[in-house]
Amino acid sequence: MSADLDLLVFRNIHQLSKYLDEKIMEIERKLGEVSSLLESVKAKRARYERIRKMIEEISGAGPGAALSTTLNISGLRVVIDPKPIEEYEILESVYKALTDKLNVLRKIKEIVANYLEKYLDEETLNVIVEMRADIPVRILIKT
C-alpha cells in the first residue's frame, strides 16, 4: 500500500467540484510563490556560474570541485548555504511538478464539470474519491 493514497468522501458532485477549484487555486498560489523565488535566485545563479567558472579556470580544478556542505540524515539531504545553482534547480523542479499537477487537476475539473456536474449536480449521492498525491485517480458514485 502506498503512503500517498488517500480517500475523500463528498455528499454530491458539487462538493467535489468545489474541492477541485480550491486545490487548483492553492496550486496556482504556490506556483506564483515559487515563480517569485525562481526570479529572485536567477540573477544569483548566473553570477555564481560566472564566478565558479573563473575559479575553475584559475585553480585548474574540475567542474563542481567546490561543493556545498551537505548532510545526509536517514536519506534526507540537508544542504547548508546552498549554491544558487542548487537552489534554482530545486525551485525549478518544484515549479515543473506543480505545473504538471495543476494541468492534471484542471483536466479532471473539466471532466467533472462537463459530465458529472452536468447530469448529477442536483443529486444527493455518496461520492468517494481515491486520491494519489492529492490527485483524484478514481471516483465512485454511489446512488
Which residue matches cell numbers 575559479?
55
Per-residue pLDDT tens digits for 35-88: 999 999 988 888 878 877 777 777 666 666 554 567 788 888 888 778 888 899
Predicted confidence (pLDDT) at residue 139 exceeds the cutoff of 50: yes
Helix, strand, coil content of the chain in percent (nearest 5): 60, 20, 20
Instruction: Sort 70 into a burial class: Cβ within 10 Å, 0-12 / 13-18 / 19+.
Output: exposed
- pTM here is 0.79
Cβ neighbours, 10 Å, residue 106: 14
Euclidean distance between CA atoms 22 and 14, whole angstroms:
12
- Domain extents in the chain: 5-142
| 134 SS3 class | coil
Per-residue pLDDT tens digits for 110-125: 999 999 988 887 767 8
CA-nearest of 1, 12, 8, 2 to 138 is 8
Whether the CB-CB separation of 2 and 132 falls below 8 Å is answered with yes
Euclidean distance between CA atoms 81 and 87, whole angstroms:
9
